[in-house]
């Protein structure tokens, strides 16, 4: 079971979620009902990102412009004004660690306060070196050294131990994203680790119980999330992504980046057919008149795309090889994110990595437009799933500075009251 025991209210209301990526900003607004079956997406907007590189805010003014535009469009479609957002986190050297936390029971029977003290200690350990705790999963319990199948509240015993997996990020990077949200007039009230969000969006509970690894290949980042026995056990992130494919196309064809992105979207493929050597398309050269066109074949383009995608999958294989072992065969792989939408990605990845792989698409929500059900929107739809599920999927540690009571301290209530 998740170690995040704080429950979100299921009372009717409006929830807004935001994903700030390298190439796009996406915002969803949903209405929640007492009956989860009546939850519904009310508004959706996607906007070209500005001022963000690999999930990190590098130009606050331009980033705010893009975020405000996405929020305004989603609010207009939903007919509401958001006062708070659930925000995805990709930046800040996102990563995870497993460790054991211990606490002594105050009496002869374990009480909830004893569990709270255990998680207080776990939080302090996870947040050392200026890190922020985003999520923690309990992987197993022991009571007086003996395995315990459940959280041992109410059981007789004196020494409590929990094996935990904690997801953390650098506090300054998280704070910058939070400042971005607040500057867009919708402060962040909940932070969700992006790999967890993507996984919640594109996998089922049964897949996560049996064991699955999700790789989200975005424009500027690749994130990883692995599950065993239904719990998040490992996350990782790399500051590279499908944007490298676009750059390679631009370099190989000497065409502007905007045209290279369009060429990748329209003609890019990982499947090579004999006819591709003869099928041509035209494109403009960088620095030349738009009417001065050149031509190349789909086979040439495919060779550029396949080479870079093979490199990205080599990085995936390296990270998977370095991931902790959970005493089971390698998990099936689910690949999602914008770069996963290229034709032939599923079979190309499975062959290159030597393991089962499938394309992950967001699960349907009532009112969710078809455009939002593409893999590139896995993170934002997953944040919505986390924010509406009734269980806090992410928690941000309180700021260590004693000065000022800003929203960062307020968000810290997730830990103070939830653990």
DSSP 360-375: --PPP-TT--GGGGSG
Pick the range with the lowest mean pLDDT from 16-25, 315-324, 399-408. Answer: 399-408
pLDDT value at residue 314: 97
List Cβ neighbours of 317 (8 Å cut-off, separation of 6 or more): 352, 353
Q: Across residues 306-313, what is the average pLDDT?
A: 97
pLDDT value at residue 330: 59
Structure tokens at 377: 């929107």
DSSP per-residue letters across 237-280: EES--THHHHHHHHHHHT--HHHHHHHHHHH-BS---GGGGT-E
Residue 44 and residue 38 in contact, taking contact as beta carbons nearer than 8 Å: no
* pLDDT for 419 beyond 70: no
Name the most confidently modeled range: 182-196, 299-313, 327-341.
Answer: 299-313
Question: Which residues partner with 375 through β-bridges?
Answer: none
Tell me: the pLDDT tens digits for 208-226? Answer: 999 999 999 999 999 999 9
Q: Which CATH number fits domain 207-359: 3.30.420.40, 3.40.30.10, 2.60.40.10, 3.40.50.880?
A: 3.30.420.40
From-to residues of CATH 3.30.1490.110 in the chain: 97-168
From CA 378, how far away is CA 35, in angstroms rounded?
24
Helix (H) or strand (E) holding 418: helix 413-418
Q: Across residues 229-255, what is the average pLDDT?
A: 95
Helix (H) or strand (E) holding 299: helix 298-322
From-to residues of CATH 3.30.420.40 in the chain: 1-96+169-203+363-419, 207-359
List Cβ neighbours of 162 (8 Å cut-off, separation of 6 or more): 3, 100, 101, 102, 118, 122, 138, 140, 141, 142
pLDDT value at residue 209: 92
Q: What is the total residue count of the chain?
A: 419
Residue 60 and residue 51 in contact, taking contact as beta carbons nearer than 8 Å: yes
- For tokens 């998740």, what's the residue? 2
From CA 416, how far away is CA 419, in angstroms rounded?
6
Tell me: the pLDDT tens digits for 41-100? Answer: 999 999 999 999 888 899 999 999 999 999 999 999 999 999 889 999 999 999 999 999
Tally of CB atoms within 10 A around 356: 12
pLDDT value at residue 390: 52
pLDDT confidence band for 331 (50 / 70 / 90): confident
Name the architecture of domain 1-96+169-203+363-419.
Answer: 2-Layer Sandwich (3.30)
* pLDDT for 283 beyond 50: yes
Tell me: the pLDDT tens digits for 88-136? Answer: 999 999 999 999 999 999 999 999 999 999 999 999 999 999 999 999 9
What's the half-sphere exposure (Cβ side, CA atoms, 13 Å) at 219?
A: 20
pLDDT value at residue 307: 97
The percent of residues in the chain predicted with pLDDT above 90, rounded, is 77
Tell me which of 198 and 54 has the higher pLDDT: 198
pLDDT value at residue 139: 92
pLDDT value at residue 88: 95
CATH number 3.90.1300.10 given to 97-168: no
pLDDT value at residue 346: 94
């Amino acid at each position: 079971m998740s170690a995040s025991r704080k429950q979100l209210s299921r009372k009717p209301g409006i929830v807004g979620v935001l994903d700030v990526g390298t190439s796009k900003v996406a915002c969803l607004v949903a209405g929640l009902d007492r009956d989860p079956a009546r939850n519904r997406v009310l508004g959706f907007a996607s906007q070209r990102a500005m001022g963000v590189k690999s999930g990190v805010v590098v130009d606050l003014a331009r980033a705010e412009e893009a975020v405000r535009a996405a929020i305004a469009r989603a609010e207009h479609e939903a007919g509401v004004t958001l006062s708070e957002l659930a925000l995805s986190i990709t930046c800040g050297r996102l990563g995870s660690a497993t460790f054991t936390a211990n606490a002594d029971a105050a009496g002869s029977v374990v009480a909830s306060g004893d569990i709270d003290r255990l998680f207080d200690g776990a939080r302090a350990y996870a947040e050392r070196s200026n890190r922020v705790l985003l999520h923690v999963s309990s992987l197993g319990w022991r009571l007086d050294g003996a395995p315990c199948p459940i959280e041992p509240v109410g059981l007789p015993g004196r020494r409590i131990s929990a094996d935990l997996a904690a997801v953390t990020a650098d506090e300054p990077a998280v704070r910058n994203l939070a400042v971005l949200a607040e500057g867009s007039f919708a402060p962040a009230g909940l932070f969700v680790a992006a790999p967890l969000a993507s996984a919640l969006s594109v996998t089922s509970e049964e897949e996560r119980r049996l064991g699955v690894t999700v790789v989200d290949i975005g424009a500027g980042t690749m994130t990883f999330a692995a599950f065993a026995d239904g719990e998040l056990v490992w996350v990782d992130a790399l500051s590279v992504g499908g944007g490298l494919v676009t750059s390679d196309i631009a370099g190989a064809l000497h065409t502007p980046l905007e045209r290279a992105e369009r060429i990748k979207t329209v003609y890019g493929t990982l499947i090579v057919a004999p006819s591709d050597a003869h099928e041509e398309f035209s494109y403009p050269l960088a620095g030349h008149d738009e009417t001065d066109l050149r031509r190349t074949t789909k086979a040439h383009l495919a060779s550029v795309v396949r080479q870079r995608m093979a490199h990205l999958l080599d990085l995936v294989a390296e990270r998977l090889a370095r991931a902790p072992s959970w005493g089971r065969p390698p998990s099936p792989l689910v690949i999602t994110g914008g770069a996963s939408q290229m034709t032939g990605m599923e079979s190309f990845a499975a062959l290159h990595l030597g393991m089962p792989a499938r394309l992950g698409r967001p699960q349907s929500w009532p009112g969710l437009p078809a455009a939002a059900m593409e893999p590139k929107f896995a993170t934002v739809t997953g944040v919505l799933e986390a924010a509406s599920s009734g269980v806090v999927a992410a928690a941000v540690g309180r700021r260590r500075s004693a000065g000022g009571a800003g929203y960062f301290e307020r968000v810290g209530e997730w830990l103070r009251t939830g653990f």
